[in-house]
Each structure stands twice: as structure tokens, then as C-alpha cells.
Amino acid sequence: MSITTYLIVFGSGLIAGMLILFITHKVSSGDSFHLVGGIGRLFSMVVGIVRRTSEVEDTQEVHAAEVLLSVDPREQKLYESAQAIRNMLLILAANIQRTNKAALESSVVLGDVKSAIDTMDLPTDLREAHSLLMKEIDRVISSNTELKNELSKSQTVLSEQQQQIEDLRTAVRIDGLTQIANRAYFDEKLNEMISLRKRYSDPFSLMIIDIDNFKAVNDTYGHPAGDRILKGVSLKLKASLRGSDFLARFGGDEFIIILIKTDVIAATEVAWKLSEEVRASRFLLDNSSLFLTLSIGVAEARADDTDESLLKRADAALYRTKLGGRNGVSADGV
């Protein structure tokens, strides 16, 4: 092998080694891990604030007797914050994985270069340069190993935080009083079902349920008793539905159900079953027994429906039930 070839090999190896060293130094300088730590601390602060906010809101009594026409803005803000932090953590985790892969690949390449150079019969005047280059390669490989260990620790932290944010996203989609899905979660689910309906043409129906004369319960027995009634009715509805059906508190004393793969005829039968289940139940309030009835409106999703148009038709069916004296079921188009 000529001296020119030796110089090219050593020059290329030296440049590669110094370039990788520079990149590794930048990555492992601590800035990326400071970023992880900063985001972790920010995440912990936000989780703490959200949890404290949720605890305060859970202790407040919910007394609205009218339908909520929009999502509680505080609830929506909590959900959006959780979603934003989740996306940020996912991006950071992806970058850590790429950095880890780059560190591994550079160590492999440098190891190969080192092995190749070690097999060469070098002239005496290049032995010193060879020794320096070997030490530099060893140092870079060692730095890569330390970097990979730090990345592994960061990935563990991020995995834990991602799990916490998933738990938080679930928590902010649950109604604090009844422990079923809230309005924000329902809106998300309904949009998903509308999209699936347009793509696959699978039927589904919507059911809006109103507890008859609920205001009188609050006025007579007090709001804490009314809250107990809401919990009891939600448990009764949930126990009577399939696991695939989606039950949510729509607002105040109204509940809403998405019946998967169910046309309006079958949904109407389910509605009458729920109505009879609640009507036959006795709700205990201290020393008093209370009997309740439900007014229900049903509508099947159409191919051209939006979430707004489907809700409007189900609500119109509910209104007809109330006009007819309550304690019954009306279905759109039936």
C-alpha cells in the first residue's frame, strides 16, 4: 500500500472521527437532557395544576337542569393542554430514538475503522498519528456509550410521563359526578362515528335521554339528593347497555348514548327497554323512595349527517316525547 493511500485513509478517518466527536459533544453536552428535564418539570407542573383543578371541580355540585349546548370551556382547555403535552413528549421521544440510533451507528463505523487501521502495516513516521487516532476513536466510542446510557434513562422517564399524560387525557374526558364520559369525550366519539359511517356505511343510532321533572327533585330533596339520582340513573343505564355502546352525560339531567351497529328500529326497542328499567326501579333518598321516568329521543345516522344535524334530529324526537306527556320514546322518521 502506498504512502498516499495511508495518508488518505488516515485523513479520512481523522476527519470522520473529529466530525463524529463534534456531533457527539453537541448532543451529549447536556442541552438535550436539560430539555428533557425541563419538559418533565413543565409536564409535572401542568399535571399538578390539572389534577388540583379537577379535584376542585369534582367537589362542586352540578345543578344545571337545562341542556348544555357547548362544552365547558375549562374542560376543553384541560383536554387541549393534555393533548399538546402528549404530542410534545412523542416528538421528543422520537428525537431521542434517532439520536440513540446515530450514536450506535457511529460507534459501529468507528469500530470498523479502528479494526481496519489496526491491520495495516504502517510506516514508522505514521505510528504516532496512528496512536493518537486510536485514542480519539476510543474516546468517541466511550462517549457514545455514555450517551446511549443517558438516552436510555431519558426514554424511561418519557415513557412514564407518556403513561401519565394518557391517564390524564382519560381523566379529563370523564364526568366528575357520574364517572361516565363527559360532553367533550362524547363530541370526539360522535365525530369518529360520523367518519366511520361515511367510510364503511355501518349503521349507528343516537339516543338522547332526559330525566322527567328533575328540577322538582332538586327543589324537593335538595341538590345533593339530585346528584345521587344522577349517579343512580347513570349506573342503571350503563348496566343495561352493551359493552360496545357509548354512554355520556350530555349536560344537566340529560344523558346521551351512541348505539354501535344499530338501526333506528333496534335503537327504539333499546330505548323502551331503558325506559322500563328506570321506571321499575326505586331510588332511595335517605328515608324516602323515589320513582322516576325518562323521556327519550332516537335518531339513526344518515350518510349525509354531520354531528350537528344528527343531534338536531335526536333532540327534535326528544321534544316530541316531552310534548306527548313525557315518560316515553320518540324516534326520528318512525
62 and 117 belong to one structural domain: yes
Window from 31-35, 149-153, 277-281, 329-333 with minimum mean pLDDT? 31-35
- Per the prediction, the chain carries an average pLDDT of 76
119 and 194 belong to one structural domain: no
Residues 252-308 pLDDT 10s: 999 999 999 999 999 999 999 999 999 999 998 888 889 999 999 999 999 999 999
Residue 177 maps to a domain: no
Catalytic option among 253, 305, 315, 332: 253
Q: Is 175 a catalytic residue?
A: no
Beta bridge partners of 119: none
Q: Which domain holds residue 250?
A: 183-331
Q: Is the dihedral of CA 86, 87, 92, 98 positive or negative?
A: positive
26 and 164 belong to one structural domain: yes
119 and 234 belong to one structural domain: no
Q: What is the pTM of this model?
A: 0.57
Q: Among the three residues 143, 171, 199, which one is the final residue of a domain in this structure?
A: 171
Residue 178 maps to a domain: no
How far apart are the C-alpha atoms of 96 and 153, rounded to whole Å? 10
127 and 13 belong to one structural domain: yes
Task: Using alpha carbons, select from 56, 65, 70, 60 the residue that is nearest to residue 226.
Answer: 65
Cα of 327 vs its chain's centroid, Å:
37
114 and 205 belong to one structural domain: no
Residues 26-75 pLDDT 10s: 444 444 444 445 545 544 554 554 455 444 444 443 333 333 334 556 55
Residue 241 maps to a domain: yes
Domain count, the chain: 2
How far apart are the C-alpha atoms of 218 and 304, rounded to whole Å? 40
